[in-house]
Amino acid sequence: MGSTLAMRIVESGLADVVLVDIVKGIAKGKALDISDSLSASSLTGKISGTSEYGDISGSGLAVITAGLARRPGMSREELSLKNADIVGSVASKIGDFAPESIIMVVTNPLDAMTYLAYKKSGFAPNRVFGMAGLLDESRFKAFIAEKLSVSPREVEAVILGTHGDKMVILPRFITVKKKPLDEILSAEEIKTLMDKTRSAGAGIVALLGSGSAYYGPSQAAFLMAKAVIKDEGKIFRASAFLDGEYGYKNIHMGVPVKLGRKGVTDIVDMDLNAEEKAQLDLSAKVIRETIERLKI
């Protein structure tokens, strides 16, 4: 996922990229390969690969994709103990060598890993966020568009909470051509699409047999990176630090945020009903349990 994101960034001319991998040779080899692809298209973006964190000095944005991918049958939560050591180490190094950067976390389990990166980096909470909600919404929109034979751009969807089985999909905020989805599909049809979205990542893992999704996640991460680098102030669903918003404190969880050069510049409040808030409470509970298990 990291190398695919890097390729998207340099191909678009958004920024120069430094790939880092602790295994010597891997990042450099991938960077050379991507550089060759740029040359073939006469593009001028610059990318390098290294195993030395000192080479990220001066970076404005650091994206953490390091970690083990899920295996078939493995939940995101099972990944937590294995990936915590990796993400914690990476975040500490970013704090040491790129202290002015913004951190975007992609490693799963996303919300707990984002909270861990915030703690280990020592950064202000607005400077550490996780990419997840945009990916989940993209998957849901794709399933709806396929079901109704429309373009995904004609579908609007909102998903909050954790990036996992307890994600909170909000049917009353979903529209197709500005028409409420529940006026187009039955409750049972909507539930089927929601269930399909919740298991989409696991489904890809099962089909691949080794590794997990990277085209979808890398595109979502690219759009969020662009919002930061270009200071766009666009609204995305991201795993952000909450300090009383939505009734939660000291936790990272998926909510609507504005992204710009300073990271999360604003958290957007949504008026949830009792049922939706109860679902979000359950989502927060799952995240807190993972954080406690990791003893962050």
Active site residue 252: no
- Written as one letter, the residue type at 228 is V
Identify how many contiguous H helices and E strands the chain contains and give both numbers.
Answer: 9, 13
Rounded CA separation 231/79 (Å): 33
Beta strand spans in the chain (E): 17-20, 47-50, 61-64, 102-105, 128-131, 155-156, 159-160, 168-169, 175-176, 179-180, 234-243, 249-260, 263-267
Rounded CA separation 117/278 (Å): 27
Among left, alpha and beta (phi > 0; psi -120 to 50; other), residue 170 is: beta
Instruction: Provide φ and ψ at 228, rounded to 5°.
Output: -75, -50
Q: Which of 170, 172, 138, 169 is nearest to 155 (CA)?
A: 138
Distance of CA 155 to the CA centre of its chain: 20
Catalytic residue among 139, 141, 163, 198: 163
Rounded CA separation 95/121 (Å): 5
Q: Which two tokens stand for residue 261?
A: 């050069």
- By annotation, the residues acting in catalysis are 163
